[in-house]
Amino acid sequence: MCDVPNSDQPIRADCSRRGFLKVAVAAAGGAAVSSRVSLADESGLRMRPGQRRSPVVEIASSYVVANGHVHPVLLREMMDRAIADLGGVSTVAEAWRQILRPDDIIGLKFNRSAQTGIGTTPYVARALIAGLNSAGWPSRQIVCIEAPRGVEEEMGTTPPRSGFASEATKFDSGADQFALALGQVTALIDIPFLKTHNIAGMTGSLKNLSHGLIKHPARYHDHGCSPYIGDIVASAPIRSKLRLCIVDALRVVYHGGPELLHGEVSEEGMLLVGFDPVAVDTVGLSVLNDVRKRRGLPQVARSAEGVPYLAAAHRRNLGVAVWHGIDRTNIRI
């Protein structure tokens, strides 16, 4: 069983059946591939004694997206495959039963920023909701937060509550009012884009939660959004409910983000899936660096140490941002 995060423990997973950077044995229809070039592990970040490595599955296909058009059947196959592999089980339904309770009200947290230009969210939403339905969670138990217009009606999900709590919730570096939709759900699945960010360096799982679920996100952009991002995600309203991160890297904003500028999106056809948002973002940083290198651009950062909020989140034991602490599996189908 996966060790699902709760308010008393760091976000982590105890379901890694792989060794460090071990290549997964592919199920029917695909093959595993070797890892991309890894980040450097800077001396300032260390694994704590007894800290568990965090599994992250990177799954990609050259055929899932082309000229902005997504292949829905292949996307569903990729998503189901990655979630099952992450859980170390043979079917995605088994994996969902490890991650969620039958009575959970599941919040799917998408990202509104650049959503129209990137254009993949409706496909990802449909694949994820259909997978949850097939595993036993009806649409009425699913709440889409920041989903594109029309998805909610099409898939029959429960509308999110609008607005924010009347009282602020304190976290280590401040206080703010959390979205009412957060109180509506008992479990969160985080579905961000992978993008560069002109203040934070990059944005992925962590920032989609921290700055997407509070009333005044603009207050928390100083110092590369550090330590605010980690502090907000570590607060009980988010940390106690976060179950899974699925990064939509089908089309990656590799320069000029977080908004989409002309010609600065790369069709990578990829999903990054993990329980630990710090580890998922650390792998995302490596992907961004790889995309930028192919285009003759400098790295976002040589390691997580160069992204202040990632380093701060690691140090506060929110997750793992050192490369030797991440159990990364690459699958290409």
CATH dotted code for 53-332: 3.40.50
**pLDDT tens readout for residues 107-159:** 999 999 999 999 999 999 999 999 999 999 999 999 999 998 899 999 999 99
pLDDT at residue 19, rounded to an integer: 33
The mean per-residue pLDDT over the stretch 63-68 comes to 95
SS (H, E, C) the chain: CCCCCCCCCCCCCCCCCCCCCCCCCCCCCCEECCCCCCCCCCCCCCCCCCCCCEEEEEEECCCCEECCEECHHHHHHHHHHHHHHHHCCCCHHHHHHHHCCCCCCEEEECCCCCHHHHCCHHHHHHHHHHHHHHHCCCHHHEEEECCCCCHHHHHCCECCCCCECCCCEEECCEEECEEHHHHHCCEEEECCEEEEECCCEEECHHHHHHCCCECCHHHHCHHHHCCHHHHHHHCHHHHCCEEEEEEEEEEEECCCCCCCCCCCEEEEEEEEEECCHHHHHHHHHHHHHHHHHHCCCCCCCCCHHHCHHHHHHHHCCCCCCCHHHEEEEEEEC
The mean per-residue pLDDT over the stretch 155-166 comes to 97
pLDDT at residue 260, rounded to an integer: 84
pLDDT at residue 36, rounded to an integer: 56
The mean per-residue pLDDT over the stretch 51-68 comes to 96
* 263: confidence class by pLDDT, cuts 50, 70, 90: low
Q: Which of 19-23, 231-235, 300-304 has the lowest mean pLDDT?
A: 19-23
**pLDDT tens readout for residues 18-33:** 332 233 333 333 444 4
* 43: confidence class by pLDDT, cuts 50, 70, 90: low
As a whole-number percent, the residues of the chain with pLDDT over 70 amount to 87
Computed over every residue of the chain, the mean pLDDT equals: 89
pLDDT at residue 44, rounded to an integer: 81
pLDDT at residue 15, rounded to an integer: 42
**Residue 9: pLDDT above 80?**
no
Pick the more confident residue, 224 or 23. 224
The mean per-residue pLDDT over the stretch 77-102 comes to 97
* 295: confidence class by pLDDT, cuts 50, 70, 90: very high
Domain spans in the chain, listed from the N-terminal domain onward: 53-332
pLDDT at residue 5, rounded to an integer: 39
